[in-house]
Structure formats: structure tokens, C-alpha cells
Amino acid sequence: MMKRLWQKTMIALARSHRMKTFMQRDERMKALAQRFVAGADAQAALATAHRLLAAQGIRASFFYLGEYVDRPELVSENVEQKLLIARLLADEEEIDVHISVDPTQIGLQTDPAEVGTRALAIGRAIMTASAGKAGLHCLMLDMEDSSVVDFTLALHDDLRRLELPAAITLQAYLRRSERDLERLITGGARVRLVKGAFVGTSDIAFTSEAQIKTNYRRLVGMMLGAQAKASGFYPIIATHDDRIQAEAVELARRNGWPQGSYEFEMLLGVRSDVAERLSQQGERVRLYVPFGRDWWPYAVRRIGENPANGILLARSLLSGRKGRPATP
């Protein structure tokens, strides 16, 4: 009950434009967000990726912040930033060219007919930047609300047909994901499995945390099963749930998946100790590394995922440092 109330409050804060403008100017909030967001620009994201790789052997998936964009100039900015990070990554020997994209970032709400062309440009930039390099390079399609799942899957399939290095996210809260996963396994795709940051009605979605977890485990079972192994499928288990991670490690071992033939993905700043431990055990671990000027909605959603983060928020607000305009 308290958890739901806390999450609802944080989601309302994330959606408030006035709150965003106010908070993004506040140095104390900026300091708090630094836990979850690499910085304002691609260089800051690269620096974080280097730090993670050097200190813990952890890889990065880069994400330029800004979702559900409804202004053409912001769509252009998003596309430019994705292309820029791909260009910068071309000069990096050790860092994967692994870039996450939300379809609504690149125009699904403004001009859907152009989304394919923009995704294609980003996919090609990733391919060029990663040519001849070792590592796992890809354009990872994030999954947004249930109304865009068909579109996102079709976009993924189109990119793969063109032999571009596309990967896709599926959400365990959706009932349809089992069917979608079956098809993607058969095609030897790369799939990142998450629980889902959205809610749905019971005809399309599992609605309780317990049901979602059960379905997550079922889908992990498919991702690390014999058929997936035979088809060349690449499983990406994206959760902070250390029990599920431990079960996946055990299942992979039992089913003959060597370490590095699947991976774990988590969010920057969330349960960093768990990520580090997995990496120390020899597992391949990647962190989602967001960067960009518009950090408030993303950071407040992360804070909202765990009521214990309320302490962090209160400490920041009560800290003695004076608020002054940030240089995001």
C-alpha cells in the first residue's frame, strides 16, 4: 500500500513539466541524480563506461534521455545524439557500440512513417562504428507501453532483415510476451527480458507482482532452454532481482550455456553491489548508462522504484548546500 502510494507520487513528479524545470536547476537534485545518470553529454557517458569497465569489468548500454517526445526538434536532437555516441564509440577499442533506443524518442508520436528510416541510420552507424571490433554491438530497442509493442517488434524484424545488429526488449508483465519470445527464439534473436515499467489490464497483462515474477521465471526458462541454445539466441536477463539472477546462473550452467553466451543487464546506480558481485563471478554484466540534459523524469522514476530511496531524496532536499542553477 505504502509502496504503491510512493511509486504513484514519484510517477506524478516525473510527469510534471514544472517540477522538471525546477528540479533540473537544483544542485542538490543534480547530485542525487548523478547516481543514476552519467551526465549531460556523450563524453560523460563514455567516461562512466570506461570507469565501469576498468574497475569492475562491467559493460555499458548507452541511452540518450528523452522518451515520449512530441516535438520534431527534440526528435532530431535524439537522433543526432544517438549518431554522435555511435561516432565517438568508433574510436574506442574496448567499449561495445551498444545503444538503446525508444521508438517514441525517434518520432513514433510525431511522424511514425519516418521512424524506420531513423532507426536504419542509427543501426548503420552502429555497424560502421563496430566494424572489425570484438564485443557485443547492437541497437537495443527498448519496449514502451502495450500500444507500441507490435510496432517495435516489426521495426526490430525489419532491421534484422537488413542484417543490422538489432536487439529487442520484452516485458514479462505482458501475457503476449511468451508468444513473442517463442518466435524470437526460433529466429535466433537477441532479447533483453524485463518485468515491465508499465501496467495493463488483466486481459493483456499480469497484474500482481507475484504473477509477473512467475512469468519472468518462465520466460527465463525458455531463454536458457535447449531450443534457444540450438537457434543461436542471445539471452539478456535484465533485472535487479538477485534470486532470479542466481536461478538463471544455475539454469545456464545446467543447460550448458558458457559464461558470456548470455548476459545480465541492470541500471546504473541500482544495486551496484549485486552487479559487481555477478561480474566478479565471471558473468557478463552490462549497465544501462543514461545521459542527457533531461534527467529528472528518469532519475525520479528510479528513486520511485524503491521506497527506501525516499531517505536519499529527503537527505538531498534537507542537505545544507544552496540550490543554484545547474549546468546540465
Ligand X SMILES: Cc1cc2nc3c(=O)[nH]c(=O)nc-3n(C[C@H](O)[C@H](O)[C@H](O)COP(=O)(O)OP(=O)(O)OC[C@H]3O[C@@H](n4cnc5c(N)ncnc54)[C@H](O)[C@@H]3O)c2cc1C
Which of 159, 160, 162, 181 is closest to 170 using CA atoms?
181
151 counts as binding ligand X under rule CB under 6 A: no
Smallest gap, in angstroms, from Cβ of residue 97 to ligand X? 17
* Residue 188: how many other CB atoms lie within 10 Å: 13
Are residues 72 and 61 in contact, defined by beta-carbon separation less than 8 angstroms? no
Check binding of 143 to ligand X (CB under 6 A). yes
Identify whether the C-beta of residue 194 lies closer than 8 Å to the C-beta of residue 201.
no
Which residues 152-211 are close enough to bind ligand X by CB under 6 A?
A: 169, 171, 194-198
Q: How far apart are CA 104 and CA 114, in angstroms?
A: 11
Residue 40 or 141: which CB sits closer to ligand X?
141
How long, in residues, is the chain? 328
> At closest approach, how far in Å is the CB of 327 from ligand X?
26
**Distance between CA 138 and CA 61 in Å, rounded?**
9
Do residues 107 and 114 make contact, with C-beta atoms less than 8 angstroms apart? yes
Least Å distance, CB 261 to ligand X, is: 18
Grid-cell match 500482481, residue found: 208
Tell me, by CB under 6 A, how many residues bind ligand X: 23
Binder to ligand X among 84, 176, 305, 310 (CB under 6 A)? Answer: 305
Strands of 263-320 (E only): list them.
263-267, 285-291
Of the candidate residues 25, 277, 306, 328, the single one contacting ligand X (CB under 6 A): 306
Catalytic member of 142, 180, 294, 302: 142
142 is catalytic: yes
Helices 149-161 & 115-130 angle (0-180, nearest 10):
50
Contact between 283 and ligand X (CB under 6 A)? no
At closest approach, how far in Å is the CB of 198 from ligand X?
5
Q: How far is the CB of 71 from ligand X (least distance, A)?
A: 22
List binders of ligand X among 221-280 (CB under 6 A): 238-241, 265-267, 270-271
Residues engaged in binding ligand X (CB under 6 A): 142-143, 169, 171, 194-198, 238-241, 265-267, 270-271, 288, 302, 305-306, 309
Which residues have a catalytic role annotated? 142, 192
